[in-house]
């Protein structure tokens, strides 16, 4: 028998048009718990299986002691609908349940960003109004608003989107998040990550941690350990003007407040506050002695280590200063000629 790719046990929420969302109380990648996988794999043809009766008992037995924390899920005591969602393989996303499982896997740190097939994600997810009550279709908001006002209350619609806020579903360990409305489910926040109020992290993107995020991490971008993303700093999702090359930021980098980059940075790089580097920006390169070596497009520097980018306050030119010698730099600059 092949391993399952991944699975989760949780509650599905539905209305008459179908599934609204899925929350997972327990999830894992294949290989983690063979006994449980064997039970789940009895329903190989179906991605979503209601948990009840004998199936629930078997899951409980396979989970052993850890079933206690899941008692409300396995004992059918509530009005919610418990389900097992199982993925045999990492194929394109074809249903809402798979989409939620994959987004949970990243945020639970079971998968890194960019390591799963997320094709079809936006196609299958419905746009919902996420309210202070529960998610609902946008067309159902007026009636719900009327009901709440008749009772002297207010309906609050917090977002109208396909992807909900991360922390409504799970809170990763060892993180701080100043404003949870800006972190989408599917964001990867490593241990020791602090996302201040101005920080934003998209799904399938994140920070390895520890680190400080006060800027915006676009879909597909991963920021390395001990890096600091200043207030309102911007990281483009792909090499600007470069199509599908994903931007990444290495370890121990500092992108200053209101700065930004459309190229990747290696380790120990700094972009000074307020400076935006796009791929097509011409940049003057200086060696460790401060001598000007030449000029390149920023895209030719993408991914290198130990770069300091500033805009010279007197000349207005953008400079890349390094701790490398002239010889090393000459070789690097001519690599693209």
**Distance of closest approach, residue 194 Cβ to a copy of itself, in angstroms:** 9
What is the closest distance, in whole angstroms, from the C-beta atom of residue 177 to a copy of itself in the complex?
Answer: 4
Q: Which is nearer to a copy of itself, 52 or 312 (CB)?
A: 312
Round to whole Å and give the CA distance between 151 and 289.
73
Length of the chain equals 337
Cα(74)–Cα(77) distance, integer angstroms: 8
Distance of alpha carbon 45 from the chain centroid = 29
Q: Between 16 and 151, whose beta carbon lies closer to a copy of itself?
A: 151
Minimum Å distance from CB 309 to a copy of itself?
A: 10
Structure tokens at 147: 């009901």
For a copy of itself, the closer CB: 65 or 314: 314
Q: For the range 203-209, what are the long-range contacts, defined as Cβ-Cβ under 8 Å and sequence gap of 24 or more?
A: 203/103, 203/106, 203/163, 204/106, 204/113, 204/114, 204/116, 204/118, 205/113, 206/106, 206/113, 208/251, 209/174, 209/175
Q: Which is nearer to a copy of itself, 5 or 240 (CB)?
A: 240
Q: How far is the CB of 218 from a copy of itself (least distance, A)?
A: 8
**Catalytic status, residue 214:** yes
Strand order in the sheet with 260-261: 200-201, 216-217, 234-235, 260-261, 276-277
Q: Which of 37, 97, 198, 214 is the catalytic position?
A: 214
Q: Output 171 or 291, the one with its CB closest to a copy of itself.
A: 171
HSE on the CB side for 296, CA within 13 Å?
A: 21
CB of 1 to a copy of itself, least distance (A): 30
* Residues with catalytic roles: 214
């Amino acid at each position: 028998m092949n391993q399952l790719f991944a699975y989760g046990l949780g509650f599905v929420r539905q209305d008459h048009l179908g599934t609204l969302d899925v929350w997972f109380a327990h999830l894992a990648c294949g290989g983690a718990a063979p006994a449980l996988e064997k039970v789940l794999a009895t329903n190989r043809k179906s991605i979503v299986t209601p948990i009840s009766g004998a199936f629930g008992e078997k899951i409980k037995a396979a989970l052993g002691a850890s079933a206690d924390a899941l008692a409300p899920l396995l004992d059918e005591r509530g009005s919610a609908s418990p389900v097992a969602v199982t993925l045999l393989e990492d194929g394109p996303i074809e249903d809402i349940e798979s989409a939620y499982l994959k987004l949970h896997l990243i945020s639970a740190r079971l998968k890194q960003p960019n390591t799963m097939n997320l094709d079809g994600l936006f196609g299958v997810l419905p746009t919902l109004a996420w309210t202070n009550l529960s998610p609902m279709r946008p067309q159902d908001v007026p009636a719900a608003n009327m009901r709440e006002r008749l009772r002297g209350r207010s309906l609050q619609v917090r977002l109208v989107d396909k992807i909900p806020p991360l922390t409504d579903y799970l809170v990763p360990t060892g993180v701080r998040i100043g404003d949870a409305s800006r972190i989408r489910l599917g964001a990867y926040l490593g241990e020791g990550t602090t996302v201040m109020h101005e920080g934003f992290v998209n799904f399938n993107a994140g920070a390895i941690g520890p680190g400080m995020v006060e800027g915006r991490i676009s879909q597909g971008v991963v920021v390395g350990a001990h890096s600091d993303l200043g207030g309102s700093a911007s990281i483009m999702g792909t090499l600007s003007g470069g199509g599908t090359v994903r931007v990444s930021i290495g370890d121990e980098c500092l992108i200053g407040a209101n700065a930004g980059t459309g190229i990747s940075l290696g380790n120990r790089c700094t972009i000074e506050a307020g400076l935006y580097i796009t791929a097509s920006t011409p940049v003057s390169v200086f060696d460790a002695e401060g001598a000007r070596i030449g000029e390149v497009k920023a895209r030719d520097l993408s991914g290198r280590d130990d770069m300091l980018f500033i805009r010279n306050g007197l000349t207005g030119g953008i400079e890349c200063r390094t701790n490398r010698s002239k010889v090393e730099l000459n070789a690097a600059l001519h690599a693209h000629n």
